[in-house]
Structure 1
């Protein structure tokens, strides 16, 4: 039996207002109420949000932000990397079963994925990278001798963390499980960085060239570009200590976090990602979503998924699944298939995740 489609807040309010013989609140009214709520939420930085459905778009910004103001997308960059892989598969240059070892310099995976003295590096495929099922360790979860997480480290001292350091750290921590074993996933930025390396090795083009060729130019995303060390041409990110740009760190990990964009451009991108404009939509239809270590998030087909409600209990309804990605700087780009709504933007803060904000907007449509 098909699951009943959850009633949106707008439709619920229409029924309540009709029963009370009150004028029904429009979608614009409800979205404006959410704008007011978001503007008053603590720990957020300057906000830029774009929400769109069939024939309508709503934008909201605070402070100096505008719909065309740039911000760090963080891990939303992974969607760009995965979109490129999907396109290369469509073009016959790759397959999901292509061994990663065949598309990176010889021997570079040796010792990276070892369990009980057995080296599984040669068994990692493109599919494992896209689905986060390679079993590679989450190097970004490691702590330094002082007990600081990576995020805490780069807030204190922005530095380069290139793919070689990521691989060395991941190898030292140790792999979690053999590639593709069971119904398991383990989120690691290294998967996206290796995916970027595979795309570059396959085409002979840089990551930046590939993003421009397959995404930015065709979609007319004129405000989207790449983090450059020392260039602060995007919004600063709020932290518990002081605002940061972490340009050295983000620029050294382009495939997993090196893109800067705007709420308006990201909305264009996430629509194209989910509607077959960039690649054949079959890549992301009916994705197998597996739990990752950051519960309740799941991952599959190159996308992060969230569903459980995070808003106050009195406002809850059956929370629809959203598919896309979020990033540590508070960035996000998602599609909600149940409501056919797209959401993109940033809360520009590492102190909170953007999911409560996203769900408040979903509840208004």
Structure 2
């Protein structure tokens, strides 16, 4: 396999949720994004395909970014929002059926996992939790007695070995976990990477057990309020919860990513864990829930996370030096996962173009 194809495959994994699966699809059941209606954005029946609203400044290439959004809506992506910022300039734009402003609220899906990871690593830094603590010790009786011990670090890095949740059902976090493990069999923990949203339902339950407070309260007091993320919230009616339930905005996600990478939220030891992947072949998720990848055909190393929920397929990625930070959200039709991935790759290439 060529380096370009390997990079494309890595990006395909990194943006797997952009293939049109809503949150439920991320953790097991297949639910086309086209079957849901994006909640914060009202989409009219007809919007001019050439409609691209933009603002630009600095060394980021606005021509390339406009080109990445050109032609929307099409058969695969109905609309998109892009915000690029950092020391090398800034640019923002919308296209197609994304009719709200760049700072409109949208469901961020599994980007929520990085928020959950940050809370968990804060608890590690406070000595209230260890990456070596096991789910069985912290949440006795939740997993079947036959399961091998699964550590908190394995949950956060998707190396828990938990089976793909073919039987998952919406409900409370405990109900989600118990339904997810009600059929199928796990593999040995710590041996391989298998992206699984159930890991982060368990991580959220661990946060609650350790603190004696709700996950929402811990998230609010540890991340949202300290960073001034006034437009980020955890809707009570979204069962995706600590795995993928957050609603946010491009400015809030940009602020969060900047604070996270700068070390504002974590102590030095836990900041290192944020960028540390486990010693497992093919490991691409860190102990903070971030994934790292390079653009196909070359380009900078970037860290971030994607997510999909309520009809949105979104992501936030940044260079380690924060010279460029990308936040995007698309409205996929669910018709062709490869075509949706191609659009996201075009956006990413344009966003990070020219950065070594």
Cα deviation digits, residues 79-129 of structure 1 (max 9, x gap): 01000001111111111111222222x311224xx5xxxx31xx1111111
Q: Is 1:178 the equivalent of 2:188?
A: yes
1:339 to 1:129, Cα distance in 2 relative to 1, 3 A:
same
Q: Map residues 172-251 of structure 1 onto 2, 5 A cutoff.
A: 172-175=183-186, 177-181=187-191, 184-229=192-237, 251=238
Q: Is 1:83 the equivalent of 2:70?
A: no
1:361 to 1:289, Cα distance in 2 relative to 1, 3 A:
farther
Structure with bigger RCO (C-alpha 8 Å, 6+ apart): 2
Q: What TM-score, normalized to structure 1? A: 0.69
Mapped partners of 1:286, 1:169: distance in 2: 28
Map of 1:336 onto structure 2? 319
Mapped partners of 2:279, 2:70: distance in 1: 33
Structure with higher Rg: it is 1
Map of 1:32 onto structure 2? 63
Q: What TM-score, normalized to structure 2? A: 0.71
Mapped partners of 2:247, 2:257: distance in 1: 14
Q: Map residues 112-127 of structure 1 onto 2, 5 A cutoff.
A: 114=146, 119-120=147-148, 123-127=149-153
Q: Secondary structure at the match of 2:327?
A: strand
Structure 2 segments unaligned to the other structure (5+ residues): 1-56, 335-339
Map of 2:37 onto structure 1? none
1:363 to 1:167, Cα distance in 2 relative to 1, 3 A:
farther
Map of 1:322 onto structure 2? 302
Map of 2:94 onto structure 1? 61
Q: Is 1:362 the equivalent of 2:352?
A: yes
Cα deviation digits, residues 289-324 of structure 1 (max 9, x gap): 8677xxxx9322221233251xxxxxx4x1333211
Mapped partners of 2:347, 2:174: distance in 1: 32
Mapped partners of 1:222, 1:165: distance in 2: 29
Structure 1 segments unaligned to the other structure (5+ residues): 1-25, 145-149, 230-250, 310-315
Q: Is 1:267 the equivalent of 2:254?
A: yes
The structure 1 segments of at least 4 consecutive aligned residues displaced by more than 6 Å after TM superposition are none
159, 180, 200: which one aligns with 1:133: 159
Q: Is 1:349 the equivalent of 2:332?
A: yes
Mapped partners of 1:288, 1:124: distance in 2: 14
Mapped partners of 1:103, 1:193: distance in 2: 14
Cα deviation digits, residues 20-69 of structure 1 (max 9, x gap): xxxxxx96572233224314243224322221221632222234222321
Aligned length: 281
